[in-house]
């Protein structure tokens, strides 16, 4: 055996030398580090406890965990809607300006024209230029919650899911400029007349 291929084992490693030989190769049996063993056996213990808890220990199922999380999220959404759907006259006043109304017109043209047509004369949605109203009384205080919360059963989307609060106030300001303008070729009146 050549000198460079001859087995060399340090004195302090001789007790680790395994007694088998593969093609002249021998190996040392170094123990795994403590942190690795701790992680490995800890994972086995955790897995056993986890399995026992979720199979025979009454742990919640995935469906139950989903329902709990969904109920929590739904409650937060409801709280948000209640808080944010309240009309604030002071906030409205900051958007009821020529600049705010102009921005509201842009938001209206991008999102509302499909149902209310240009200038709010009505198509699928009602005419916004007359003095008849279905879901509100035509005032900013009553228009804001209708836009924010929608009226899904009547085809009005929940715009708070798409538009920001600022955009909703701007649209309300713009819709107020359409009220009682009686644009020609408008849709026939719907709802109750509001003086």
pLDDT for 23 equals: 78
DSSP string, 8-57: ---GGGGGGB-S--BTTB--B-PPPPHHHHHHHHHHHHHHHHHHHHHHTS
Q: In angstroms, what CA-CA distances link 126 with 139, 149, 191? A: 15, 17, 9
124 falls in which pLDDT band (50, 70, 90)? very high
pLDDT for 5 equals: 58
Q: How many helices (H) and strands (E) does the chain have?
A: 7, 2
For residue 132 the two structure tokens come to 């008849």
* pTM for the predicted model, two decimal places: 0.63
pLDDT for 46 equals: 97
pLDDT in tens, 46-96: 999 999 999 998 899 899 999 999 999 999 988 888 888 889 999 999 999
Residue 14 has pLDDT above 80, yes or no: no
pLDDT for 33 equals: 93
Mean residue pLDDT of the chain comes to 89
DSSP string, 164-176: -HHHHHHHHHHHH
pLDDT for 2 equals: 55
What domains can you pick out in the chain, each with its CATH number? Answer: 1-60 (no CATH), 84-193 (1.10.760.10)
Q: Return the closest-CA partner of residue 84 out of 168, 156, 175.
A: 168
CA–CA dist 139, 102 (Å, integer): 19
pLDDT in tens, 15-47: 788 787 777 777 878 888 999 999 999 999 999
């Amino acid at each position: 055996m050549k000198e460079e291929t001859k087995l060399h084992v340090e004195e302090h490693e001789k007790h680790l030398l395994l007694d088998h030989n593969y093609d002249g190769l021998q190996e040392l049996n170094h123990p795994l580090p403590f942190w690795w063993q701790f992680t490995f056996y800890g994972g086995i213990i955790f897995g056993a406890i986890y399995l026992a808890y979720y199979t025979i220990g009454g742990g919640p199922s995935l469906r139950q965990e989903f329902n709990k999380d969904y109920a929590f999220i739904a409650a937060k959404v409801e709280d948000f809607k209640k808080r944010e759907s309240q009309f604030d006259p002071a906030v409205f006043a900051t958007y009821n300006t020529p600049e705010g109304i102009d921005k509201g017109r842009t938001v209206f043209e991008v999102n509302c024209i499909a149902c209310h047509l240009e200038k709010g004369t009505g198509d699928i949605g009602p005419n916004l230029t007359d003095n008849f109203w279905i879901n509100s009384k035509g005032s900013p205080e009553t228009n804001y919650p209708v836009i924010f919360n929608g009226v899904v059963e009547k085809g009005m989307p929940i715009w708070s899911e798409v538009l920001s609060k600022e955009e909703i106030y701007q649209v309300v300001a713009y819709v107020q400029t359409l009220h009682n303008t009686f644009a020609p070729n408008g849709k026939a009146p719907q709802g109750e007349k509001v003086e």
